[in-house]
Amino acid sequence: MRFIVVKDLSPEAARARTVRAVADVLKKVGKTEILSFDASLIKRLTKDDVIFNLAIGKRHDFLQGTISAIMEGLGNEFVGSPAYTHYVCLDKFTTKSLLNSYGIPTPAGTLFDGSYFVGDIPAPPLIVKPVAEGSGIGVESDSLCDSIEMAKKVAKKKFEEFKEPIIIEKYLDGAELTVGVIGFGSELKVLPSLEIDFSNLPKGVERFYSKRVKEEYASQTIYRCPALLSEKVQREVLDIAKKTFEVTKARDYLRIDMRLDKDQPYVIEVNSMPGLDPQNSDIPKMIKAMSKDYEWLIKYVIKRAIQSLEVQE
């Protein structure tokens, strides 16, 4: 067995750090190589390889889904969710539609496709963001709108900027939470919820996870794990996270972002390949609250893939 950690050709600093950290753990388990995703990758794989993809590609190429699809076609075992999960979760409105069909609460919302608003726009306040971006891209101070007219104007502006549909949702003013789920089957673990508290940010800075907050105010953002929630709300948050993992057909690791409204959790986004940066990513923060370390996390995440390969052999 050999582990192949797949990376982007030129990963940004945090992702490059993640590649090194994951590879360092895998080397303690077995032979490990780091390969860039390019045309030569497929030729270098064998049936005994376990792929751990950390490549995300460029905007709009949905590379994480493509790589999973390629591995499924080749019959190679890989860590992480199948292509289906990635393609669903890379489109926020598709995710929303799927979750709603299973009774998982999401904020009321609609979609602007460049020509029409698909359905009714809920009552303000509203949050306006691109449907297929990550890392807070397109979520800015102007994303929070206090009227439908303003939301329509911002949606049209963002459509022109990002060249993709724009989602308009009811803005929920409660606590912002994120929950990781790792493992598989009977060994599935829902991690402690992490509260992202913006109360310490300077006056005038938005109280939601905008690109600016993520990049410029991370040191002033309070991360509280486990979140300070009542037992009832905490139980509901964890139940929603587990059900979301199941209905999106996820595997190995997933992160679900939520907002509270009058103690009711609502899913606002699902990340099918969440960050694993040992310094700054959310899931490693949750692991620390369990008195576990990064090595334990990575070894837990790869268990299903290793067992699946052993069964095949």
Nearest CA to 34 among 48, 47, 43, 24?
24
User: For the segment 182-202, what is each residue's pLDDT rounded down to a tens digit?
Assistant: 999 999 999 999 999 999 999
Mean pLDDT for the chain? 94
Q: What is the dihedral of CA 68, 14, 219, 259, to 10 degrees?
A: -10
Cα distances (angstroms) measured from residue 1 to each of 109, 252, 284, 301, 307 = 47, 19, 26, 17, 11
Work out the angle at residue 71's Cα, subtended by the Cα atoms of residues 66 and 74, and round it to the nearest 5 degrees. Answer: 125
CA dist., res. 283 & res. 178, Å (int): 9
pLDDT for residue 123: 96
Question: Which range has the worst mean pLDDT, 40-49, 103-112, 173-182, 207-216?
Answer: 207-216
Given a cut of 90, whether residue 117 has pLDDT beyond it is yes
The per-residue DSSP string of 50-110 comes to EEEE----STTS-HHHHHHHHHHHHT-EEES--HHHHHHHTSHHHHHHHHHHTT-----EE
pLDDT for residue 57: 86
Domains of the chain: 2-79 (3.40.50.20), 108-170 (3.30.1490), 173-272 (3.30.470.20)
